[in-house]
Amino acid sequence: MAKEAVKKAGWVVWDGKKFFVVKRTLRSNYTDISLPKWHIEEWETDEQASLREVLEETWLVCQIEWRLWTVMYRNPEWLIEATYFAMRVKENWTGDIFPDVKEVISGDYDTILNLLTYDTDKWIFEKWAKMLIWK
């Protein structure tokens, strides 16, 4: 019997000048730069999870501009269903970011597109990040 997909929420974040991504250590020997996404708790909506996760991982308080879309992909262990949102930064807090996040990286569209590790993240970012700039 097939396992149910693990549901995650992710985002593309912009503050009017630059975009934000995270550098994360997934295992002791592997680091990536990605559009953050993480598990949705049982009691959360996709939107709530996305806003919570962006705050935990970047200390940016955001508002959702658009629900982008849901993508399905498989990693070695799970089928993942990730729903992405485009967000604008409302406020920047300070504090300790989530332990597996080593650095919050900001940059313009071209810089971030070239830094992203995963093809899925690059595709989502490339298709939707410019819409935030144009709005």
Does residue 88 belong to any structural domain of this protein? yes
Q: What is the pLDDT of residue 64?
A: 94
In a domain, 13, yes or no: yes
Residue 24 β-bridge partners: 32, 101
Which of 3 and 1 is assigned the larger pLDDT?
Answer: 3
**pLDDT score recorded for residue 1:** 44
CA–CA distance, 62 with 49 (Å, rounded to integer): 12
Asked if residue 105 belongs to a domain, the reply is: yes
Residue 98: predicted pLDDT:
77
Write the pLDDT tens digit of every residue in 83-109: 989 899 998 887 777 778 888 999 999
The pTM of the whole model exceeds 0.85: no
Side-chain-side CA neighbours of residue 68 (13 Å): 25
* Residue 82 pLDDT class (50, 70, 90 cuts): confident
107 within a domain of the structure (yes/no): yes
| CATH number of the structural domain spanning residue 101 | 3.90.79.10
In a domain, 89, yes or no: yes
9-45: pLDDT as tens digits = 878 888 888 999 999 887 667 788 988 777 888 899 9
Residue 109, SS3 per DSSP: helix
> Regarding predicted confidence, which is higher, 55 or 100?
55
Asked if residue 99 is part of any domain, the answer here is yes
* Percent of the chain clearing pLDDT 90 (strictly above): 27
Q: Is residue 1 part of a domain?
A: no
Q: Which of 127, 23, 21, 26 is nearest to 75 (CA)?
A: 26
Domain boundaries, position 80: 6-134
Domain assignment present for residue 113? The answer is yes
Per the structure, the count of domains in the chain is 1
Residues 6 or more apart whose Cβ sits within 8 Å of residue 36: 10, 11, 21, 22, 24, 53, 54, 57, 58, 101
β-bridge partners, 38: 9
